[in-house]
Structure 1
Amino acid sequence: MNDVKKISPVGSIHGWEESEFGEFVLSEDYDALEAEAQALRDQVKALQSDANSYQAGYDEGRRMGTKHRQSEVEQLMREVEALRARVAELEAEVEDADGLSKRLGELLSEITIIIRGPEPELTRWGYSDLPLRVKAVVEEVAALRARVVVLPSVDSVMNIVMRYQWNEKTNVTGTTNWAANLGMKVVDEVKRLNGKVVSEGLLRRIVAEPVGGAVYDAIAELRAMLGEGKDP
């Protein structure tokens, strides 16, 4: 548009002519070109405004996105720190539990010593000490078996009583009834004491003594011992 000049033929002695300074156009053509140029300038201005708005929005979005990501990173860091603290607490609890278990074991050992008495000098047994340990246990079991014996079953006692009855039936008048009464008393005692332990000597006196006062004495002794709450 800078090369276009708007002129009028009024006062021109040569009429219409072209000039080296530009192309001459009609006034209405110039006005149309001017309007079109203004419209283009307006469009360029609008596009420039849109571009500026887009750039501003883009910059704001980047800023907000960066801020949001930074916030997420900070939140994750806080969660990681919380997890680390929880792990430390759990490790401390495990250490406390181990210490408590160790202390309980020590207390149990002390209680065992109080109840059973101190262990002998050789308290730790290895594979090489196993035969000696087995031998000691066998000897201990044998000693206990020599001291106590379990009462016989009711059937065994009944068989013993029946043998007494058969042996005495033809020798002494009335011995059968007397032996039967004695046998019932012995059976009652066995039922009452079934499952308990008594001394072997006392048991043999009850089942092996000849029928007479000695058996009654043994039964009375057994009753007295049980009545006093002693271990026969």
Structure 2
Amino acid sequence: MPESPGITVLVVDDQPLAREGNALVLDSAPGIRVIGEAADGHEAIRMAADLEPDIILMDVRMPGMDGIQATRGIIDRGLRSRVIVLTTFDLDEYAFGALRAGASAFLVKTATHQELVGAVRVVAGGAAIVTPRITRQLIDAYTGRDRPVATDQPLSVLSPRERDVFEAIAAGLSNSEISATLHLSPATIKTHVNRIFAKLGLRDRVHAVIFAHQLGLPIGSATDPSTLT
């Protein structure tokens, strides 16, 4: 039986030292394998289609085609890869633009090696992360500052229990916290989460929280990567 490749990663950065450094950090982490490096957005889209990595670590500021355009191109092509964008500042409009384009997470370039590896593991597991202190700013920037209109209509496709789980996700609870709150097994919660995302057409938790905000539901803070289980 062939050995599992683990989490496969494509690293995208126009600066060779940064690209090679991040690739080295990730490739040395157990269960993670870097399968490609790209120097710009055009190359990132092409390699994403050819290699189908689990995760794409994407620099946002690149000449030619930046990370926002590349992320949109990857998502629009229906590729299964999840994108983590790297930015210089945690309130950078580039990062917000990348999330609008479909990225699952962003990290600042000052993140530690442990935070980088942790982010890859969390996003590969189906969760999504942002730097915790920017959650409110993220919601405002993502949705615009118009007051949301409360409506239950889009949630009518959910069962009552799925609605409970969705509201818990919006409140910022991890799967383990939802499990304890609703007195359901972690496996059952994971199944509910997957069904909710499928029914509502959501990619991950970040977009679920944003969707909840658009519906006028109470939302909580983003969760640290270590708690998104």
> What's the TM-score, normalizing by structure 1?
0.19
If each structure's strand is expressed as a fraction of its own residues, which one has the higher value?
Answer: 2
> What's the TM-score, normalizing by structure 2?
0.19
Structure number with higher relative contact order (C-alpha < 8 Å, ≥ 6 residues apart): 2
